[in-house]
Structure 1
Amino acid sequence: MKDYQKLEIMMYESKGFRKNKIMDIFECTLGDKVGFIKKDIYNFSSKYKRSRIEDGDANATLAVLKDRRDKDPEFFFDYQVDSEGRLKNLFWCDGQSRMDYQSFGDVVVFDSTYRMNRYKMPFVPFVGLNHHRQTTVFACGIVSDETVETYNWLLCTFLRAMCQKKPKSIITDSDNARIKAIRQTLPGTDHRVCSWHIEKNMKKHLHFSYLELFRSFIYEVCSCSVFESKWSSFVQKYQTNRNKEWLNRMYKKRRLWAAAFLCDKYFMGMRTNQRSESLNSRLHVHLDGFMSLFDLLQHYEVCVSDMRRRESELDTIASQSWPVTVTNSREIEKAVAHIFTFANFKLVQEQLHMVSTFDIGEVTLDGNCTRYRLISNVIPGREFYVEYTCLGSNSDIKCSCRKIQRDGIPCKHIFLVLSQAGVTEMPKCCVLQRMSKNAKAGLPSVRKSDLHVWTKRQSRYHELRSLGSELFDLVSGSDDRFAEVKDYLVGEIKRQKSSSKPANDAPAPDRGGSGSAPEPRAHALDPNVVVTKGAPKGRIKSFDEPPKPRLCSRCRQPGHDIRTCPDEPN
């Protein structure tokens, strides 16, 4: 094997290619003149991987993170070690992830996955939904246990990395430790439990004949009093000794999963942690349970790079084209097509298609505000109220269905009123910037709380950076103001550099991790193999599923006894 071939193999290894794929690439390019066989690639790749972690897997991983921080001033990472000096918990996020969080961090999916490294340490990603309704990654963590203290540290570190900006909503599984940690660290954040986990457990504890009745608690919107009445009836009729404990637990957590308590919360239409599973499914490709933390980090970076490449492709398509209008509301639909991305436009278009299912029953005027009563011509007795205040560019419109507050998408009732009022442009109040094509146009940041102590210089630095970020967003839309601010900054920088008196004798702020991440320790031992709750093994059996019959070892037929079976084994 020649040196240049070894370099090519190392390059493909760093990009996450498997050995079989590397061999296929060489065979396609060089045919039968490769000069080595597949076993040579396996041996060289294994030797190369071992050489990268000669000083220890944990030390090699921390060295890579420190190198990323040196290259990316906004890269953030932090970690903990146990009493023996072994790596216990690890958290990191790069500059692009932190910028994405400023734009799309209103809803966060916080979940864990297992069997991804040789230490059995759970991998915990923080993910969300971008303006193309694709999975975007905000940060990642690797933990050694799943206790309340560990999740508290992980969430506090996440807030430090994101300049204390808390998400509006968060989605998790039904793990009690995670629920308690969120309640302590994010008290003002709306929280819901993944409905997929609820349905999975529901099939284990309930008979199939009343599964649909229980699903109505998860998905059908009603008042809280109606939910309590329906739940009491359900318990009286279907509770048994087998499911009594589970039903009691579900009732205590009802505000985290029942539609009656979540109908007014903002989750962008998400009910499950499928966004986290989307990232995990990508990570599980070419993944084995013996992967080191160093390899896991590189594998993660390859997956995230691919996700960002797809996002940039969709950004290019959205900026250069728009979909064809097909509904009867052509003018407003054309305006919507120029604002929303393709994925969000399809959802808006569905609402435009259903405008004809409602009629305006009554119109009431009150100064600048007009109140409309909308009556369904499909479902008798269903009606909604829309209030429209026409104030030119500052117009405001609200609907009693509150769809735009829940999902971020204007409803069919609003479009009917806009059509009745002769409006052909989309009011600004009906467009969330995170749904539009220019979702990343501005990234102002505002600090509202502080969970850690900074020096006086660091506090001033972060305050100026937050103010500067907001100012830059405001002036970037005007050529004159942009030139004015730019000239001022250039002149101020020159004046400060030419000044002989230093601004402060204190040390410069740590550019990695917003000045809040501690300087990494020199060494950390590799973590121990941990015992976690783990992922479920095999398929979960439902309540009424009969046990699998045993097969006779001779005739391979169910129900036979080998002692009386006349057939001979094959």
Structure 2
Amino acid sequence: MEVCKGQLHTIAGSSCGDSSHISIAVSSDVSSGDCSIENDASVTSPSLCPGAEEKDRKDTVVLKHLVCSCEGFNDVNDDNCSKVLKRRRTVSQRCGCKVKIVVKYMSEDRYFALSFVEEHNHPLASASGRQFLRANREMTLGLRNIVFDGAKVNIGGNKVFNFAKEMMGGYSNVGATLRDFRNLNHYLKCYVGEKDGQMMIEKFKVMTETCEPFYYAYDVDSAGHLTKLFGTDAIGQRNFEIYGAAVSFDATFDTNKQGNYNINKLYNLIFAPFTGVDKNDKCVTFASCLLSQESVADYSWEWDVGVPASFSSLNGLVASKHGLCIWHILQTFPVKLGNHLCKETYFMEKMKIYICSSNIDIDEFERGWEAVIKELKLEGNKWLADIYEIRSSWIPTFFRDEPMFGLMHTTSRQRNKIARLDHETTSSILTTVLTRFIEDYAADLFMRTLFYKVQEEIFASCVDMKIKRMSEEVEGVIHLEIKDVKVKDKLFKVSVSLNHAVFSCKKFVMCGIVCRHAFCGLKQLGVTKIPRSLVLNCWMKIADSGTSSNSVALNRLDYVHRTIRQLNIDLVNHDGEVVEFPKKDYIAAMVGEKPLGELTVFVPKVCKNKGNYFKRLICEREKSVMKSKKRI
């Protein structure tokens, strides 16, 4: 039987009592030797695999064998079997099946079916098992996109396969098996290999050429392995220009174990972002850095190389202060002092009165700390003495004069979409509690999250405040001493006028919000609007309405994104011929082409940031674990 290029011929026959139809189609690319032999929708036999082939001097396939996937037998090496090795038990489908098709080249566009053996020596697949045959399995472009999108958010092949099953309505409708999903996910991660670091740097170079505000810097060790990487874009620099009055630089508590989709190893790099708080009281990122070690040299490199180039042309970073996380220190108290002292006595309750309060003075904190330590006879505890020596780095009362603006909790703050919050505030009317005073003005001035905080202070100024002493008005200024019913043994001093207010709690300096004591004083003067000197620009609804070079670049970037989305919609709606997209070309389009030539930047090494065992205090928990020879 002769077969021409592009033509499809069907051979019908029966095998082992079951009928099957085999279609022979010759590809237009004869030199590639792709004479595709496909089964129709009712196929029950195993797939046909390419076998031996012959080519002429012009590299044209003149003879091609296609055999059953069960052809031949497994090679068994007796030498390996004699050795005592732990091997995985496997099965084989090879049973010496003789089914084959031999196609011979006749002329430029004609082939001849030289031989056809159709009798199988094994049972064919059942109706429920047809979905597992190779001929009926294919990772389509849609399934590849699902695997790729899942890999970007660190979702493995198992969960992606279950998600595809729910979308398709069952496992049999997916068109691929779990192993196919795992293989593609594995191939996606291994595609880059050791060229991951080089590809990342080259991608950043392209981003620098296409987006002028984008900036990056990196450093390698003596062997060429990536050790430091700093980056910021137009969005981050625009956020810094608007909300950069106070910046928090806080490395993650644990190493970054998630990695990226093109990272084939877990590098455990330290992720250190520069963050701030926007008008929605949510965290925004200005820049970020990946470090291999938490050392002075690494952090100095970030501040000397990355920060000046990124922020010096904008507001600039004037001064900085180092602060420790109070939450982690409080979590260490039971470990260092024991559960009996911290959970079965009043020790922690008494300590938190002085540790967690920002309304007390430094002298008051020191007297309270010493009183609690002396009461429980803990003067000889070395750990308490050590953390007391560094009290200026973690006690809130030492930060009362610093403009923190809520930065103590930026890395633990919930990440929300700013656009959604803006829409919810502008498209809704905030509910006010009071029918007078300045609450309506605050609702028009602040976003919803900030308004709720200001509303709480306004309400407390009318309910919880008691004026103990008020002076006569002198040049438009009155002085008050106010008692807060929720703070024991404390009087707050407030000096207010129609245009300004000064208060001893210093909440405005630390958080950027007018406190309840100031609102109580403003109410006595009959003020109906918050003084402009007590409203920060970054908290207002119109904070990001200004125009800068970065905002112009951001608008251009939005235009490009809209154009790409429209092109994507047009391509989806286009009823054209579907072209095959090989797996290798697909991954290259998604991840990027592999760099050519010699590598100059290698993947980072796995870093270890565990504290030095011989330079830190060992708690009782670690001692008991080491004694029992168990890992933590």
The alignment's TM-score, normalised by the length of structure 2, stands at 0.59
The question of whether the paired residues in 2 share the 8 Å contact of 1:107 and 1:268 is answered with: no
The question of whether the paired residues in 2 share the 8 Å contact of 1:56 and 1:525 is answered with: yes
Distance 1:125 1:378 in 2: 37
Q: What does residue range 95-494 of structure 1 map to in structure 2 within 5 Å?
A: 95-105=234-244, 106-112=246-252, 113-116=254-257, 117=259, 118-164=266-312, 188-206=319-337, 207-208=341-342, 209=345, 210-220=347-357, 221-235=359-373, 243-244=381-382, 246-269=383-406, 271=408, 274-277=409-412, 307=415, 310-328=417-435, 330-356=436-462, 357-360=464-467, 361-376=469-484, 382-390=490-498, 395-442=499-546
The question of whether the paired residues in 1 share the 8 Å contact of 2:195 and 2:599 is answered with: no
CA RMSD of aligned residues (A): 3.8
Distance 1:134 1:396 in 2: 27
Query: Per-residue CA shift, 1:298-329, capped at 9, x if unaligned?
Result: xxxxxxxxx56x2110011112223111125x
The question of whether the paired residues in 2 share the 8 Å contact of 1:205 and 1:243 is answered with: no
Are 2:168 and 1:35 equivalent residues in the alignment?
Answer: no
> The residue matched to 2:493 in structure 1 has which SS?
strand
Distance 1:241 1:5 in 2: 67
1:2 CA drift (Å): 5.4
When residues 327 and 67 of structure 1 are mapped into structure 2, their CA distance, relative to the original with a 3 A threshold, is same
Distance 2:377 2:486 in 1: 37
The question of whether the paired residues in 1 share the 8 Å contact of 2:251 and 2:270 is answered with: no
Distance 1:80 1:379 in 2: 52
1:353 CA drift (Å): 1.5
1:333 CA drift (Å): 0.6
Query: Per-residue CA shift, 1:27-48, capped at 9, x if unaligned?
Result: 3444433321121111122213
Where is the helix percentage greater, Structure 1 or Structure 2? 1
* 1:430 partner letter: L
Other-structure match for 1:302? none
1:267 CA drift (Å): 2.2
> The residue matched to 1:162 in structure 2 has which SS?
helix
The question of whether the paired residues in 1 share the 8 Å contact of 2:151 and 2:185 is answered with: no
Are 2:207 and 1:72 equivalent residues in the alignment?
Answer: no
Gaps of 5+ in 2: 1-137, 260-265, 553-597
> The residue matched to 2:218 in structure 1 has which SS?
strand
When residues 324 and 222 of structure 1 are mapped into structure 2, their CA distance, relative to the original with a 3 A threshold, is closer
Query: Per-residue CA shift, 1:393-431, capped at 9, x if unaligned?
Result: xx2222222221121111222222333322222221221
Query: Per-residue CA shift, 1:123-168, capped at 9, x if unaligned?
Result: 2223332222222222222112111011111223342243238999
Q: Percent identity?
A: 24
* 1:243 partner letter: N
Choose the corresponding residue for 2:605, options 528, 532, 555: 528
Distance 2:292 2:433 in 1: 53
Distance 2:605 2:328 in 1: 29
> The residue matched to 1:216 in structure 2 has which SS?
helix
Choose the corresponding residue for 2:221, options 74, 77, 82: 82
* 2:239 partner letter: D
Higher RCO, Cα 8 Å, sep 6+: 1
Distance 1:162 1:367 in 2: 46
Distance 1:525 1:239 in 2: 56
Distance 1:335 1:341 in 2: 12
The question of whether the paired residues in 2 share the 8 Å contact of 1:355 and 1:413 is answered with: yes
Gaps of 5+ in 1: 169-185, 280-306, 445-464, 470-520, 552-570
The question of whether the paired residues in 2 share the 8 Å contact of 1:111 and 1:126 is answered with: no
> The residue matched to 2:522 in structure 1 has which SS?
helix
The alignment's TM-score, normalised by the length of structure 1, stands at 0.65
The question of whether the paired residues in 2 share the 8 Å contact of 1:376 and 1:383 is answered with: yes
Where is the strand percentage greater, Structure 1 or Structure 2? 2
> The residue matched to 2:410 in structure 1 has which SS?
helix
Other-structure match for 1:498? none
Pairs aligned (count): 421
* 1:424 partner letter: T
Distance 2:229 2:276 in 1: 20
1:348 CA drift (Å): 1.0
Distance 1:347 1:109 in 2: 25
Distance 2:442 2:506 in 1: 19
The question of whether the paired residues in 1 share the 8 Å contact of 2:326 and 2:395 is answered with: no
